[in-house]
A and B are shown apart, each in its own frame.
Chain A
Amino acid sequence: DTAVSQTPKYLVTQMGNDKSIKCEQNLGHDTMYWYKQDSKKFLKIMFSYNNKELIINETVPNRFSPKSPDKAHLNLHINSLELGDSAVYFCASSGQLTFNEQFFGPGTRLTVL
C-alpha cells in the first residue's frame, strides 16, 4: 500500500545514455512533482503536473522531459545524460492547492559515469 512509488531505486549509467524514471501515486492526488536533490542535499523543484497538465517547468535543461499519462503517473525521461545529472530524484504528489502538503516517493539515485 505504498503511497508514492518510484522505479528504479538506483540507476547507474554512462554519459550520453538516455534513461527514464517512473513514478506512481495511489493517494488520489491531482498534482505530481519531480524534484532533484544534489550532493549538498538541496531539494529543488523541476516540474509539476496537475491533472496531466504541466504547471511548473523550472529552468531545467531540455534534455529532461516529464510525461504524465494520467494523474496517478508522472515519468521523467532524461536524454544524453551528463555527469552533473548525478543526484537523487524524488517524485511527490499533493492534493488540493490550499494546503498542498506534498508526499514524497523513496527517491531514485542516479549515478552517471
Chain B
Amino acid sequence: QKEVEQNSGPLSVPEGAIASLNCTYSDRGSQSFFWYRQYSGKSPELIMFIYSNGDKEDGRFTAQLNKASQYVSLLIRDSQPSDSATYLCAVKRDSSYKLIFGSGTRLLVRP
C-alpha cells in the first residue's frame, strides 16, 4: 500500500464546474496535509494546507480533511482552463520535516 494515494486521472471537467480531487493516506500519525499544484515543466506550488478536521476555504479552493477516514480532498469551484495542472497531495507528521507526496492527479478543465 502506498503511503499517499491519488487517482492519477486525468480528471476532466468543463469550465465553471467544481473539480474534486481526492487523496488517502496510510499513516494515522499524519497531522499536516498539503495540496500543491504543478504545471507541466514547472515546480510544485503550495496552494493550500490543512491541519484540523473539517473544511478550509481560500478563494475558489476548499480543502477538506477527515482524519478518521484518513482522507483529504481539494475542491476547486468555478474551474478555469488555467487550473489544468497536476495536483499533488502531501502529508507529514508533526515531529518530522518529511513530506510524503502522492503521485498526483492530473486535472483538465475544458473550455
Binding site for B on A (CB under 8 A): 31, 33, 40-45, 48, 50, 55-56, 90, 94, 97-107
Contact = CB atoms under 8 A, between A and B. Distances in A.
Given A48-B97, A56-B98, A102 B46 contact: yes
Contacts of B95: 97
B28 interface: no
A33 B90 CA distance: 15
14 contacts: A31-B97, A33-B97, A41-B38, A41-B86, A41-B104, A42-B104, A94-B97, A97-B97, A99-B32, A101-B49, A104-B44, A106-B42, A106-B43, A107-B43
Given A40-B103, A41-B104, A55 B44 contact: no
Given A41-B86, A43-B88, A98-B94, A103 B46 contact: yes
Contacts of A43: 44, 88, 101, 104
Contacts of A55: 97
Contacts of B86: 41
A101 B45 CA distance: 10
Contacts of A42: 101, 103-104
A45 B99 contact: yes
Interface string B70-104: 00000000000000001010001011011111011
Nearest to B99: A102
Interface of B: 32, 34, 38, 42-46, 49, 86, 88, 92, 94-95, 97-101, 103-104
Given A99-B49, A105-B43, A44 B101 contact: yes
A41 B103 contact: yes
A110 to B, nearest CB: 14
B98 A45 contact: yes
Q: Which of B43, B88, B99, B101 has the most CB of A within 10 A?
A: B43
The 6 closest A-B pairs by CB, nearest first: A104-B43, A43-B101, A42-B103, A104-B44, A107-B43, A106-B43
